[in-house]
Chain A
Amino acid sequence: MLVKWMKQRKQKQPRETIEDVYLIFDKSSDYSKYKRKLHDKEFEISYFQTMIDIDRLHRDVLPYLTEAETSDLASIIELVPIQNKMITTKPQDLRDKVMEGFIAIRDLGDLSTVALIEAGLASDREVTTPEVEFSVAGPQESFIESIDTNINLIRKRLPLPQLQIKEFTLGKITKTRVAVLYVEGLVDQENFNTMIQRLQDLEFDQILDSSSLAQMITDKTMSIFPQLINTERPERVSAVLAEGKVAFLCDGSPESVFGPVTLVEFFSSLEDYYLPWQIASSVRLLRFFSVAFSILATPIYVAVLTYHYELIPKDLLATVMASRSNIPFPPVIEAVFLELTIELLREAGARLPTKVGQTIGIVGGIVIGQASVEAGLTSNVLLIIVALAALASFTTPVYQMGNTIRLIRFPFILSAALFGGIGIAFCGLYTLAHLLHLTSLGRPYLEPIFPPRVRDWRDAFIRMPFRYMSSRPVYLRPRDKGRFNFFRAKEKHDIDE
């Protein structure tokens, strides 16, 4: 329906006049207009009162209109101390600008030209601390919904003329401003072209947020794995731009999206760079371990208890058997039941206000877990495993990846219930094959694991000290490869010199 309507609009457009636009405006009740006599002519001032700053209108616009010496439009607005103003004859301009918060002034004697003066209402919130990607160390700024503020936040960190911005308007209905950011001289032209190409070719009527836009331009839309990273931290964007990546911002969205990225990057947090490298590396390894644990723990429990009781250590056997002995369901039902409970708690917690959410988490976790063990519905061993697996899945720094990890657990559980250890292995193999197929802006997703690039291992599973990170990631093919002179950094002084 919508598309059809848009098409009809398009066909009508050539015949549209300024007057038509005014007629459309007139239908809205928040559109206000009044006449004012200046010199000898009658002018009409009109605007959407919900879109403009009334203070500005009375302070900066109206007093200056009367001071004009002649009565043509150009001289009338000349004295208005606002930079963004224009005179146009195009109905298109009129419509777009007034919708953005411009004031339209026209001479009722000459209906073909309109003067437009910007007096938009800035309704932005303050720059606040990041909430999704919270970190203890490091800057505490996060993006807000205004694209200009966001660009400002990035530019402050990269005061370079080479930081360039290419802007589009996307979305037939939402007319969202999208800005692609890159550092010229660093970025690989091919990556940049891929990003621009995909954005330009996009035909979708509404762009609500940068994360939904990211889904539309991603390499393999059928994949469950995110192939671009969202972030709300300006310093992360500036850091990746300086590596040679491409990022985009979307008006109305407090998140930026960048690429190309690799799977490993989803598990690196910016905090890794603020902490000493030994600590950062161990935390990173812990995260990889917790991902593996989160995906595999419950499936292994199911497989072992359904098929491979031989694997249980002999001293643990009695404990496991005792915990299972009254439970009427097979392990898979038990496991799925508990996993779903945890997901339910998480979802309920996420939908409710913070304080209530916390309560739900604690009450639900303790009460339901305890009660289901006492009622003999689940074994306490499994309860521990599932709770730990859920906890482990929350260590992933990128929210989208965390969701993926929680979801791919279920196919693993099912195949473990069907084929035991073999099922888990096949599922794992399928996941690996899938990851090998994936690309991010055309660059291999599994890099530096495959294709193996030893240089990039310096900042993959562990984070080496900065002195060893002399080159930018190889897979980005940056034009300028080196960050600093590695050999000079390696020069050693003698003792006491």
Chain B
Amino acid sequence: MKTLVRCKILLLVCLVLLTGCLQTRIIDEIAVIRTVGFDVDGEQGLNMTVSFPTFLEQGEQNVQERDVINANAETVKGARILLNEKSQKPLEFGQLNTLLIGEELAKRGVEDFIDSLYRDVSVGNRITLALVDGKASEIISGDLSGGEQTGVYLSDLIQQNMEMNTVPTTNMHEFLFSLYNDARDPFLPVLTIEDERIGIKGTALFKDDKYLRILNIDDSFILKLMTTPTKQTSKQFHLDMEEEESIVVLEKIFSKRKRSLDRSGSNPVYKIEIDIKGEIIDYTGKKNLEEENLVGEIEKVIEEKIAKRSKTLLEEFRDEGMDPVAVGEKYRSTTRDWQPQVWLDTIYQTVEFEVIANVEILSSGAIE
């Protein structure tokens, strides 16, 4: 018994002595990166920008500052080494929040950069991705008005817009899901600097991992309706009715979509049915909302507007050969003979679209 105890103590001491050298990552001795940006550097090169919070001691209060480092290299790993050389503390990517990609770089293809972060186990799966209209480094090093905590500002801005507003929801996992899916193409929100403030400009569409073009805010909303069910969003519609032009603001929009594929005809027909429920909170027209049929008319106008625009967009996507709405996925689910290449090259080009929108305006506001 005694020798056993002695053995145990010896073992314990050994372990303590020998493992004291496990690499620690004490929170105040590392640079916790919150935002990463990728840009082009010349023809082949890559420019990587990272930002992380630092704390300056000022009396009893610690003032939070922000540090930005920038490096040029050929690969992501190379850039990380160069960045480390410029940093006071080791760089850690575990609290990475936002990943920004410059427009020019995105045209070249983004798979390598995102994949390199996906492979890094310390990087989360939910991080926010965005394309930057211009250079990512400009947004990262630029002055973030509002003085909010660094790193959280950008991701909060984008998340908030995804949840409440106009751009379709995505994050690193969903981007990769679409990217590695043979029947789907990814999209990202686009950030831009306008009047010295950062804002959302629209949605960037990709074909495979290459950035193709941007959708404006209004079209982004349509894309969102076609891809995901929405909750609690608000949207403003311009109505061109017979007598007058007016603006209607809908709030608490809940939407659902149903998609189906009809393969009975010569060409497959992809049909989307979008159900929208909302409340009018603002109406600039002269008529009284209490008036008979007015709400019904507004509903009809909005329905037409959405259906028409959706169909145009779908046809545009088809003609450009990209598939952010995941038409291919629906096709795949109806066939046992799925060949991605055949689908993309021949079948997709023959698909015809049909969009039905059902708008239901529930009540016309709490105040009359």
Q: Give A contacts to B, CB under 8 Å.
A: 305-310, 312, 314-315, 317-318, 320-322, 324-327, 330-331, 374, 414, 418-419
User: Which B residues are CB-close (under 8 A) to A324?
Assistant: 26-28
Q: Could you pull out 11 A-B pairs where Cβ atoms are within 8 angstroms? A: A305-B26, A306-B25, A308-B25, A310-B94, A310-B124, A315-B149, A320-B27, A322-B55, A322-B62, A325-B57, A418-B16
**B residues near A305, Cβ cutoff 8 Å:** 26-27
Contact flag A322-B64 (CB < 8 Å), given A310-B122, A418-B15, A418-B20:
yes
Given contacts A317-B32, A318-B53, contact A331 B95 (CB under 8 A): no
A322-B64, A325-B55, A418-B19 given; A314·B26 CB < 8 A: no
A322–B65 alpha-carbon span in the complex (Å): 11
B97 contacts the other chain (Cβ, under 8 Å)?
A: yes
Q: Are B16 and A326 in contact (CB under 8 A)?
A: no
Residues on the A chain within 8 Å of B195, using CB: none
Inter-subunit contact B26/A321 (CB<8 Å) = no
Question: How many angstroms from the CA of A320 to the CA of B55 in the assembled complex?
Answer: 11
Q: Which residues of B contact A330 (CB under 8 A)?
A: 24, 26
A309: chain B residues within 8 A (beta carbon): 25, 27, 30, 32, 92, 94-95
Interchain CA distance A318-B24 in the complex, whole Å:
20
Q: How far is the CA of A309 from the CA of B27 in the complex (A)?
A: 6
Q: How far is the CA of A418 from the CA of B16 in the complex (A)?
A: 7
Q: Which of B19, B57, B95 lies in contact with A317, CB distance below 8 A?
A: B95
Q: Does B60 contact A (CB under 8 A)?
A: yes
- Please name the residue on chain A nearest to B150 by beta carbon: A318
Apart from A306-B25, A309-B32, 18 more pairs, CB < 8 Å: A307-B24, A309-B25, A310-B94, A310-B124, A312-B27, A314-B95, A314-B151, A317-B32, A318-B53, A320-B27, A321-B27, A322-B62, A324-B27, A325-B55, A330-B24, A330-B26, A374-B60, A418-B22
A438 to B55, CA, bound (A): 50
Interface residues of B (CB under 8 A from A): 15-16, 19-20, 22, 24-28, 30, 32, 53, 55, 57, 60, 62, 64, 92, 94-95, 97, 122, 124, 149, 151-152, 155
Interface centre among B28, B60, B122 (most CB of A within 10 A): B28
CB within 8 Å for A321 and B152 given contacts A309-B25, A419-B19, A419-B22: no
A324 vs B124: C-alpha distance in the bound complex, in angstroms?
23
Question: Closest CB-CB distance, A77 to chain B, in whole Å?
Answer: 56
Given A309-B92, A310-B122, A418-B20, A321-B97 contact (CB < 8 Å): no
Distance in Å from the Cβ of B189 to the closest Cβ of chain A? 19
Neighbouring A residues of B94 by C-beta, 8 Å: 309-310
A306–B24 contact, CB under 8 A? yes
- Report the separation of the CA atoms of residues A338 and B62 in the bound assembly, to the nearest whole angstrom: 22
Contact: A314 with B152, CB < 8 Å?
yes
Query: Inside 8 A of A414's CB, which chain B residues have their CB?
Result: 16
A314-B152, A318-B64, A374-B60 known; A331+B26 contact, CB < 8 A: yes
Tell me the complex Cα distance, A320–B149, Å: 13
CB A420 to nearest CB in B, in angstroms, measures 8
Closest Cβ–Cβ distance, residue B146 to chain A (whole Å)? 15
Rounded to whole angstroms, the CA-CA distance of A318 and B65 in the bound complex is 11
Give the interface centre of B60, B95, B122 by most chain A CB atoms within 10 Å.
Answer: B95
Chain A residues contacting B64 (CB-CB under 8 Å) are 318, 322
- Contact partner of B95 (CB less than 8 A), chosen from A312, A327, A374, is A312
B57 A326 Cβ-Cβ under 8 A? yes
Q: Would A306 and B62 be within 8 Å (CB), given that A321-B32, A418-B20 are in contact?
A: no
When the two chains form their complex, are residues B152 and A315 in contact, meaning their CB atoms are under 8 A apart?
Answer: yes
The minimal Cβ–Cβ distance linking A421 to chain B, given in whole angstroms, is 13
Distance of A324 Cα from B26 Cα, bound (Å): 10
Most central of B27, B92, B97, B149 by chain A CB within 10 Å: B27
- Given A317-B95, A322-B55, A327-B32 contact (CB < 8 Å): no
Contact in complex: B32, A306 (CB < 8 Å): no
